Amino acid sequence: MFVAVSSRSRWPSPRLAGAVALLLFSGAGGYAVLRSLGDVAIRGPAADGTARPAADHSGSGARVPGLTRPGIFVSVGVTDAGGLEVSETARTGKSVVELSITPPPALEGATRLPRLEDVRVTADGRPVEMPDTVEVTTVVNLVQPATLIELRYRVVGASARGKPAGPGRATLSLRPALATTLGDSRTMIEVHGTKVHTLACVDLPPKRQRCGVNRNGGWRTPRLDTGSSAVVALVDLPGTRA
């Protein structure tokens, strides 16, 4: 059984709204400020727009939430149109019987609210019955208690184009769909398949918000508190020529 809760995810704080405004390139000055933070660009893997399996990222002896320890690991592949193909793996530490699944926050000035599509969920390897599309927080009851939750889904409406910054530049809103379920755990988010300019961990203090680092061909955040794991990514969409 699943229940939809009539609430939408919004940016929760003034400093987050400020970071979003910065990354959305509300004017030429915004881009200059971003560059002063250190606009470091690298090339990721082939821009196939798919989320890589979690096993590709674990690494030998790595302490990665969701993969080698309790928490959530989110792998995000960016499509040409700015859609997000997401693989999310969560280890709960103790058994859970209920999941709360929520789309990421809406970007400031966005014309539509983010939603999850083609949602597929397994709990300890067993398929979980739930709707294909999630537009609001949806609570799902599991048939049996589980400690390993795996989600695959597409995110639509979580990107905004940054026209003053040139063609193909986009800002992405990222957050684990299971952030409410495992709010007291740790999270790591990775973005790949495109040129990444920066990741901003907007729930952190201002001096620590530019948080992305390159790991094995993808940009990763540090380990974040899941309850404060909203991330804004500035990328060039795959297949776009300047």
DSSP per residue, 194-227: SEEEEEEETTS-GGG-B--EEETTEEE---EEGG
Q: Reply yes or no on whether the pLDDT at 68 is more than 80.
A: yes
pLDDT given at position 63 = 84
- Whole-structure pTM over 0.85, yes or no? no
Q: Which two tokens stand for residue 149?
A: 């939750």
Q: Which residues have a Cβ under 8 Å from the Cβ of 124 and sit 6 or more positions away?
A: 144, 146, 147, 148
pLDDT given at position 12 = 39
Task: State which CATH number among 1.10.287, 2.60.40, 1.10.3470, 3.40.1760 fits the domain covering 2-236.
Answer: 2.60.40
User: So where are the chain's domains?
Assistant: 2-236
66 pLDDT band (50/70/90 cuts)?
very high
